[in-house]
């Protein structure tokens, strides 16, 4: 089990990666033709899908790495670089292409339900969020460790649900500039976390650096 500060850092990191506030404009645009009840139903499916994806990453992510013979140190460096790229995009108030591509946005317009793709994944629970869960899961062992991470994921999903619930209010009273400022702050926090992942991975790959 880790220090509680580490789990707090993971919670903040996950919220920063998911960046639900930054996803509000995309959510509004993709659900613009839906009424309030339909939009609420979509938001619930989004939250449930994010929760399931992250929990699956927690419990089977490391098994997948072992199956492909990928060391956790290599994954830390790769995951850290991916998160860093996302953070740089966020500091420029942009949605990272690693989360949502133009092709996926175009495809989503042709679907009856856009809750799972692209909203839940890859826009929210994308490679960055999945990498973060796997990396933190590998930092400790035991049922208590995994239970706390599961609670962190649940709290993150609750925050996501709460923000989506107040989308009509947020979109009415918060300007695009305000959303951009929040996104840049989250990007800065995310960049700091990604550097820690990269540094830890490099130390694992090159023990002599210790």
Residue 142 in any domain: the answer is yes
Residue 32 in any domain: the answer is no
How many domains are there within the chain?
1
Number of C-beta neighbours around residue 54 at 10 A: 27
Residue 29 in any domain: the answer is no
Query: What is the rounded CA–CA span in Å between residue 210 and residue 198?
Result: 14
Highest mean pLDDT among 28-32, 65-69, 173-177: 65-69
pLDDT of 190 higher than 90: no
Residue 30 in any domain: the answer is no
The terminus-to-terminus CA distance of the chain in angstroms comes to 23
pLDDT of residue 112: 45
Burial-class residue 45 by CB neighbours within 10 Å (0-12, 13-18, 19+): middle
The pair of structure tokens assigned to 23 is 């996803």
pLDDT of 196 higher than 50: yes
Residue 92 in any domain: the answer is yes
* Degrees, nearest 5: CA angle 162-166-167: 115
Residue 31 in any domain: the answer is no
Query: What is the rounded CA–CA span in Å between residue 63 and residue 66?
Result: 5
pLDDT of residue 48: 95
Residue 26 in any domain: the answer is no
Stated pTM of the model: 0.78
Residue 200 in any domain: the answer is yes
pLDDT of residue 180: 80
Domain that holds residue 110: 4-19+37-205
Percent over 90 (pLDDT), the chain: 35
């Amino acid at each position: 089990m880790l220090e509680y500060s580490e789990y707090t850092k993971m919670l903040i990191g996950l919220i920063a990666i998911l960046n639900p506030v930054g996803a509000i404009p995309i959510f509004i645009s993709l659900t613009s033709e839906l009424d309030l009840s339909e939009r609420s139903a979509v938001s619930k499916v989004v939250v449930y899908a994010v929760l399931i994806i992250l929990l699956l990453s927690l419990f089977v992510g490391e098994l997948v790495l072992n199956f492909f013979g990928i060391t956790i140190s290599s994954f830390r460096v790769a995951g850290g670089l991916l998160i860093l790229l996302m953070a740089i995009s966020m500091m420029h108030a942009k949605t990272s292409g690693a989360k949502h591509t133009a092709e996926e946005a175009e495809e989503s317009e042709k679907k009856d339900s856009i809750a799972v793709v692209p909203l839940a994944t890859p826009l929210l629970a994308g490679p960055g969020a999945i990498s973060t869960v796997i990396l933190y899961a590998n930092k400790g062992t035991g049922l208590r460790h995994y239970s706390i991470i599961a609670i962190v994921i649940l709290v993150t999903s609750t925050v996501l649900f709460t923000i989506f619930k107040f989308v009509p209010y947020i979109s009415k009273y918060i300007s695009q500039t305000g959303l951009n400022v929040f996104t840049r702050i989250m990007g800065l926090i995310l960049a700091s976390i990604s550097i820690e992942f990269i540094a830890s991975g490099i130390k694992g790959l090159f023990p002599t650096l210790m």
